[in-house]
Amino acid sequence: MSGVWGNNMKISIFGESHGNGIGIVINGLEPGFEIDFDYIDKEMERRAPGRNNLSTARKEADKVEILSGIFEGKVTGAPICAVIKNIDTRSKDYSLLKDVMRPGHADYPGLIRYDGFNDYRGGGHFSGRITAPLVFAGALAKQILEKKGIFIGAHLKSVGKVEEAYFDSINLNKETLLSLRGKELPILEDKNLEKVKHEILSAKMEGDSVGGVVECGIIGLKAGIGDPFFDSVESTIAHLAFSVPGIKGIEFGAGFDYTKMRGSEGNDEYYMDGKCIKTYSNNNGGITGGITNGMPIIFRAAVKPTASIIKEQRTINAKTLEDTKLVVQGRHDPCIAQRALVVIETIAALAILDLIGGK
């Protein structure tokens, strides 16, 4: 089971949803960088469960215990190891799922891949809970990037059938990105707040779930970062995005709508803004040839509806090899997009920091 990623910096995640704890090891961060721990706490709170009736009832403080690599508030250069204890677990809720496979979940492929030895409680290592230590790493990465004038933010482009506005891909600014972090739900159009809530809560009341689309923006990156083909900016971000549980699609810039344009419409024409080179449009999402072109990077990630729902579903018993039906017990998010949003920001920060060298 691989749990390591990175080139210039390397991260390794460990733990299971209902184990003693989850954690991360980070290599390659710049020695001497001073950490803002309040910043970390705020980022962890954005992902933490149990904050309101729009998420799971499981309550975890997600307080990070740093074991190594940070001394007197600064990065030492040694590997950073951080652990988050699991407190509010109810493993008995998952006893049935040892044999009865949840539709849409990793239970069945995990059972086959690991010969039945994987921890099935709460999804084990497949659980979205494992993204908590990733958010810690992202909080460090964001701080380092922000010192360099690079800012990252995201909003809910859609939840279920409720659609939001797109980012302004030409004039996206720091104020817009940072303002989203303090909102109850990170949406651009406040008029849609009650609509989004209703979409989530109505699914919850029906024992069901909804998905969503997270749009992420990155500003402050100069042109010339990245490589063509295997280490392109898109492939680096996409690799991490598809490592996040529940992500089923990604598009950059105009994305699939680009296919409906002619070249004369889709090409981002250049112009001089003083001594700066800019483009009139940003259909390529700030990346051409796998390399940044100086415009804001814009991408969107599709988050599927939560697989664990209390509606009765058809499935199989993997032990008896018989058809059966399942009503999932336990505590689950009716919509994971709202909590996955900070994880999408995280993978963007980690990808960019790795591309620019980690320093």
Over the chain (359 residues), the average pLDDT of each successive run of 10 is 84 85 93 96 84 60 91 96 82 72 90 83 77 95 97 97 96 96 92 94 93 98 95 97 95 97 97 96 98 98 93 94 89 88 97 83
Q: Binding site: what residues are annotated?
A: 47, 125-127, 289, 304-308, 331
Single-letter residue type at 73: G
Q: Binding site for FMN: what residues are annotated?
A: 125-127, 289, 304-308, 331
Q: Binding site for NADP(+): what residues are annotated?
A: 47
Lookup: tokens for 15? 């733990």
Could you confirm whether domain 90-355 is CATH 3.90.850.10? Answer: no
Q: What is the Cα 357 distance to its own chain's centre?
A: 21
In the chain, DSSP assigns E strands to: 4-5, 10-15, 21-27, 64-68, 70-71, 74-75, 80-85, 151-159, 162-163, 212-219, 247-252, 270-273, 276-279, 287-288, 291-292, 297-303, 313-317, 322-326
pLDDT for residue 119: 76
pLDDT for residue 48: 81
pLDDT for residue 358: 44
pLDDT for residue 248: 97
pLDDT for residue 129: 86
Considering the entire predicted model, what is its pTM?
A: 0.92
